[in-house]
Amino acid sequence: MQPLHLPLVLQLPKSVKPLNGLSFNPSNETWSFNDGVTNYSLNIKKISELTPALVENIRLVLIWYVENTSGGQVESHYWQLVKLLTFIRESHRYPVTTITSADLINYKDSLGLDKEWHLGSLASFLKKWHKFQLPGVAEDALRFLNEVKIKGIEKGKAVRTMDPNIGPFSDVEVEAIRGALNDSYVNRNISKRDFLLTWLFLLLGQRARQYALLKVRAIELALREANSTNNPVLIDGATLNRAAQIISENFAESTAYRIGGQLEMISTFLDDHHLTSAILTWRSPIKRPIDTVRVGKEFDLRRAEKLPSEAALDALPKIFNLATDPKDVIYSSIGAILCSAPDRIDKDFLDNPLPGVDREQTNKNNK
C-alpha cells in the first residue's frame, strides 16, 4: 500500500492504474476499469452535479483507493458517498461545499439503526479525505467520526441461524452434493476442470473471485514451460515455485501474497487426493509484505479499539473475588493470570483444561 504524502498535489494525473488492471484517464466523466476479475464503471458526473466545488478533491481521494484497494471497495465508497452528498444537497437545497458534523448527525439519524452501517463504511473514506488535507471535510465532522460509535453491518447471521435460503448447506446437503458430483464425473456428465473446481469449493469454502484471481493461469504457464503440457498430474514443487514467481511478477505484493496462500491450498488438495505423480509438501515462497507505517493517531485508535475498557478491567478483580462456582473460579483465575502475565489464551486451556472439557477434543479444535 502506498504511503500518504501530505499535502497532496492538487492536480489530477494523466492516468491511473488500478491495483490489478489497465490504466484509465481520471479526468473522464466515467471511470471504467477492471480489477482483474470484475468490470467497474463509476459515473463521476453524478458527483459533479451534486458538488461541483469538491469534485476534483473527491477524484483525488478516489484515485488513492483505486491504486491501493480492490475495485469492490472503490465502488462501495463511491456509492455511499453519492448517497451522503445527495442527502446533504436535498437538505440544504444547494450544492455541497463542506461536509460538517451536523450533516453526518442528520444523515445517521435518517438511516436508522438497521442501515447505520452505510455511514460506518464511508467513515474511513472521509477520514482519508481529511488526512490528505484536501478541503471538504470539516474538523467537527472528523471529531464526530472519531468519537461516535457507529453500528456496523450485521455479519454471520445466515450462518448462525442456518438460514435455509442464504445460509450454509447442512451436512446432509453437502453429502448429497458430493455424491451427485462424483456420479456426474464417473458418468462423464461433467468435465475434469469443473469437477476439480467444484471440489475446491466444497473443501476450501472460498469465493469464486479468489479462484478467478489466478487469471494469469500461473500453474498452467509453469507446466507448459517445463513440460509443454498442462496436465495437472505433472505438477511438482518446481512447477509451483515457477507459478509463484509468475504471480509475484504480475500482482502487487499484498495480492501476490494472498494468491500464494491459494496456491498452497491447491497444492494440499492435490497431494491429499493423490492427483499428482510426485508428493507435494510445498509452501509458498511469496513473503507477506511488511507494513512499516504503524505510528500515528489512526494506528493508536485502532490499537485502543482492541483493548478492554477501564470498566472491564476494574470488573475483573471483583469477579475474581465473587466467584464461587468451580468453572467461574477457573475462568476468573485465568483472567487474573493473563493480566499479570499476558499469554495466549489457548495455552492456559490446553495445559489446564476445565472440568468437563475433553482435552483430546480441545486439541482437535485448535488444530
pLDDT band at 75 (very low <50, low <70, confident <90, very high): very high
Q: Which residue has the higher pLDDT, 42 or 155?
A: 42
Distance, in Å, from the CA atom of 263 to the CA atom of 211, rounded to the nearest integer, reads 10
Q: Which of the pair, 25 or 354, is modelled with greater confidence?
A: 25
**pLDDT of 128 higher than 60:** yes
The pLDDT of residue 294 is 64
Alpha-carbon 204 to chain mean position? 17
pTM over 0.85: no
- Is the pLDDT score of 101 beyond 90? yes
| Residue 54 and residue 136 in contact, taking contact as beta carbons nearer than 8 Å | yes
Cβ atoms of 151 and 119 within 8 Å: the answer is no
Whether 137 contacts 118, CB under 8 Å: no
Which carries the bigger pLDDT value, residue 287 or residue 330? Answer: 287
pLDDT at residue 2, rounded to an integer: 46
pLDDT surpassing 70 at residue 6: no
User: How high does pLDDT run on average in the chain?
Assistant: 80
1 vs 135, higher pLDDT: 135
* Cell, residue 142: 472528523
- Report whether pLDDT(34) > 50: yes
Would you say 233 and 277 are in contact if contact means Cβ atoms under 8 Å apart? yes
Question: Is the pLDDT score of 220 beyond 60?
Answer: yes
Q: What is the dihedral of CA 323, 329, 331, 334, to 10 degrees?
A: 120
Share of the chain above pLDDT 70, in %: 83
Question: What angle in degrees, to the nearest 10, is found between the helix axes of 237-250 and 253-272?
Answer: 160
**pLDDT digits 0-9 by tens, 164-190:** 787 777 888 888 888 898 888 888 898
Query: What pLDDT is recorded for position 50?
Result: 80
pLDDT at 210 over 60: yes
H helices of 307-358, where? 310-322, 326-340, 345-351
